[in-house]
Amino acid sequence: MSRDWIYLVPALCALVLPGVHQVEGIEVLTSSELEAVNGTDVRLKCTFKSTQPLSEETVSVSWTFRPLGKSLEKSIFLYHKQAYPPKDETFKDHAVWSGNVMNGDASITLRNVQFSFNGTYSCQVRNPPDFQGFAGEISLRVVQKVSFSEIGILAIAVGGCIGIVLLILVIYIVVRIFRRRGDDMDTEMEHRESKDQVL
């Protein structure tokens, strides 16, 4: 009886495996952190790659929001064949579709951002039979004014160094010009003195 199982398992695998399709997860890409000034518009960029052909009929996008310091997520935007704007009062007339699923873009734009928009936004994309790998998450921080980032500080430092080098170069050139003029004047004075002595 035990020998029968040895032959039965490969036979069952041969029957079942041809019907199994290899399905991979959709790759969703977002920036991890974003900063926006209160009252401005900000685009929550979400792009995706799928192993299956993209179609308006099959691709669906959902965005959720988790407020800062809270654990409960709420749905704020849906897209399937068309955009379904949020009914939630917080995001009504604020969240608008700015993506293009045929180009692998599932982005939305938040208009006139408020301090209540601080939190984590999740972008989920489905394109059957591809399943969702990991949701893309963006942590949005709404500020009164733009704070200096590390790149801004680096740009100021590099600009300052270039300015100092240019200033030193200008001083060097000016000093050389005055020295050359001084040497020319000394040579001319010596030439005049030698002429006076000859006369």
Please tell me the pTM assigned to this model.
0.61
Give the pLDDT of the chain (199 residues) as one tens digit per residue: 445 544 444 444 443 333 333 446 789 999 899 999 999 999 999 999 998 999 999 999 999 999 998 889 999 999 999 999 888 888 999 999 999 999 999 999 999 999 999 999 999 999 988 876 678 999 999 998 755 666 778 788 899 999 999 999 999 999 888 888 877 776 766 666 666 665 5
Name the nearest CA neighbour of 140 among 76, 73, 44.
44
Please give the sequence-ordered ranges of beta strands (E in DSSP) within the chain, or none if there are none.
Answer: 25-30, 33-37, 42-44, 46-49, 60-67, 74-80, 82-84, 95-97, 108-110, 119-126, 131-132, 136-143
CATH of domain 23-143: 2.60.40.10
